[in-house]
Amino acid sequence: MIKVNNLSFTYPRASSPVLQNLNFEISEGEIFGFLGPSGAGKSTTQKILYKILHNFTGEIHIKDKPLGQWGKEYFEQIGVGFELPNHYLKLTGKENLALFASFYNKNRLLKVTDLFEMVGLQDSIHKKVETYSKGMKMRLNFIRAIMNDPDILFFDEPTAGLDPVNGHKIKEYIVNLKNQGKTIFITTHDMTTADEICDRVAFIVDGKLRVTEAPSTLKFRHGENQVKVEAKGKQPAKFPLEHLGQNAGFLEFISTNELLRINTMEATLEEVFIQVTGKALKA
């Protein structure tokens, strides 16, 4: 769905590139996450993909067509959830969406009342956005991004600054979109969000991609290939995962003790990020 080859980009008047030879692909129906510290180049990459920034080098194909060959019809195919919602505060929620609806082909537009209902804002549809909380603004931002029923969605830090309940809701909506077959590209600092919803993640630091992989694969590869078994009144014991079913020590341990917990010793995504990049993500 999205193919990026050797993408580099330098801001006008900047002395060095902010993106250097990025290569990645995003398949149809996939949630792909760009993880990296502040200033790594996540938003810049997305802005290039949604055609706010031009003059990049390298090749980008969207639905097998070079990005440069897409005209205005491209904006019917994509939806963008910006990091900082830029709503018209003096207008109501409904009026805000109506304004954006005018940019799109009417045939593809989803019903406004359905959208508000979907994110639990039906009671606030006629209220001015200045009265909305941050979580409500983010939900409005979310439905604005999907109102034209696009095939490809870009979300920049979709859960940033949200409380756990609102953050969870946004994650749920994103996963629902994936289940409808949408292709979703998110950027985030938030490892938990990435781990929970992304099919694959790419680590970006200083404009360079380090790894692109499924979170579960990364956590497993960078963890210890062991299980840790905890039992009542016993020191926790570790056993290699390989041939675990034939490991006499493991079998004896689990059959002769009152078990409390068995865990694989996989790394967290945050630990993997630090191992791979040498940097903490919340930099």
- Mark residues 4-23: x for contact with ligand ATP by CB under 6 A, - for none: -------x--x---x-----
CB 85 within 8 A of CB 155: no
H or E stretch covering 237: strand 237-240
SS3 call for 32: strand
SS3 call for 114: helix
Output 46 or 124, the one with its CB closest to ligand ATP: 46
Q: How many CB atoms lie within 10 A of CB 215?
A: 22
Instruction: Give min distance, CB of 151 to ligand ATP, in A.
Output: 24
Out of 36, 81, 85, 167, the only residue in the binding site for ligand ATP (CB under 6 A) is 36
Out of 27, 38, 57, 180, the only residue in the binding site for ligand ATP (CB under 6 A) is 38
- Mark residues 43-82: x for contact with ligand ATP by CB under 6 A, - for none: xx--------------------------------------
Output 44 or 277, the one with its CB closest to ligand ATP: 44
Query: In angstroms, what CA-CA distances link 2 with 24, 64, 187, 258, 277?
Result: 8, 8, 15, 51, 25
Instruction: Give min distance, CB of 12 to ligand ATP, in A.
Output: 7
CB 264 within 8 A of CB 241: yes
Q: Does 41 bind ligand ATP (CB under 6 A)?
A: yes
- CA-based nearest residue to 34, from 7, 59, 68: 7
Instruction: Give min distance, CB of 8 to ligand ATP, in A.
Output: 13
CA 139, CA 145: separation in Å to the nearest integer? 10
Instruction: Give min distance, CB of 129 to ligand ATP, in A.
Output: 23
Q: Does 42 bind ligand ATP (CB under 6 A)?
A: yes
CA 190, CA 186: separation in Å to the nearest integer? 11
Instruction: Give min distance, CB of 239 to ligand ATP, in A.
Output: 41
CA 22, CA 69: separation in Å to the nearest integer? 20
Instruction: Give min distance, CB of 60 to ligand ATP, in A.
Output: 16
CA 272, CA 267: separation in Å to the nearest integer? 6
Output 60 or 115, the one with its CB closest to ligand ATP: 60
Q: Does 188 bind ligand ATP (CB under 6 A)?
A: no
CB 237 within 8 A of CB 229: yes
Output 36 or 215, the one with its CB closest to ligand ATP: 36
* Residues at the interface with ligand ATP (CB under 6 A): 11, 14, 18, 36, 38-44
